[in-house]
Amino acid sequence: KRSGAWCSAMRSQRKLGGDVRPIVVNVCNFAKGDPALLSYDDARTLFHEFGHALHQMLSDVTYGFISGTSVARDFVELPSQLYEHWLEVPSVLEAHARHWETGEPMPAAMLERLLAAGTYDQGFATVEFVSSALVDLEFHTGAAPADPMQRQAEVLESLGMPRAIRMRHATPHFAHVFSGDGYSAGYYSYMWSEVMDADAFAAFEEAGDPFDPATAARLEKFILSAGGSEEAEALYLQFRGRMPGVEALLKGRGLLDAA
């Protein structure tokens, strides 16, 4: 069986030729057990994939080929990664993160430690990812290097890459960009999506409510229901009123003061 988790549309939404509603499935590989319990990472995966499902189910476009997640590669992860933020809202965790036998919610001290752990070692994680993304871009925007490993070393040297940190995916096993065209010159899109999802969730924080109805309505109208009907930049501008900034991402990773 395929590993990981994913969202698939068995039928895409469209209005052409009638009002066709989407059929969407989330598939996850959660551990079996008696009882079957979800880890915190499992819960994050569930929220992530349901974000993709919402993108499909709330789609409201004319043509099926631009419905739901049929958007630019560096925009498709915005709804899914944005939805992960609601997992960390204390009221949400208090509602579902309960002891399977007693029904007691997670103790406040444990919840605080759990959320604080999210910023642990994020400087390392950020550098190892960005280095892989920049090497990918270098390989796909210039002449093919005669010695890929030598070119990788040159790129890392130009970045001032600390020797104690290695790329997340070194060239010989960088399957994202060589086993198919999906992420060729596009590995950066994961980090770019994080910039957008952090900035988008900040809109709810600025409104003073993670469930603010007005902000949620804009999110549905300009992101979740729009599919690929307009350029991603135009859709985000209509939702947020400006292009995303990096500050919310740095804050979420605990790096704002360091920056």
Question: In this structure, is residue 202 part of a structural domain?
Answer: yes
Give the pLDDT confidence of 118-153 residue by residue, as tens digits: 888 898 889 989 999 999 998 888 788 888 889 889
Residue 222 lies in a domain: yes
26 and 141 together in one domain: no
**pLDDT score of 258 more than 60:** no
Residues 164 and 193 in one domain: no
Q: What confidence tier does 181 reach under pLDDT thresholds 50, 70, 90? A: low
Q: What CA–CA distances, in Å, run from 172 to 103, 156, 178?
A: 48, 15, 9
Are 105 and 193 part of one and the same domain?
yes
Mean pLDDT score of the chain:
91
Residues 211 and 162 both lie in one domain: no
| Model confidence at 259: pLDDT above 60 | no
Q: Given 3-state DSSP classes, what are the helix, strand and coil percentages for the chain, each rounded to the nearest 5?
A: 50, 5, 40
pLDDT at 19 exceeding the cut of 90: yes
Q: For the whole model, what pTM was predicted?
A: 0.86
Residue 111 CB: number of other CB atoms within 10 A? 16
pLDDT of 37-81, one tens digit each?
Answer: 999 999 999 999 999 999 999 999 999 999 999 999 899 999 999
In the chain, the percentage of residues whose pLDDT exceeds 70 is 98
Point out the catalytic residue in the list 49, 77, 84, 194.
49
Same domain, 69 and 195: yes
In a domain, 183, yes or no: no
Domain harbouring 200, CATH code: 1.10.1370.40
User: What is the distance between the terminal CA atoms of the chain, rounded to a whole angstrom?
Assistant: 43
45 lies in the same domain as 84: yes
Do residues 3 and 57 both lie within one domain? yes
- 77 lies in the same domain as 141: no
Q: Do 167 and 195 sit in the same domain of this protein? A: no
Structural domain total, the chain: 2
Q: Is 84 annotated in the active site?
A: no
Q: Which domain holds residue 170?
A: 122-178
Mean pLDDT of the 201-218 span: 98
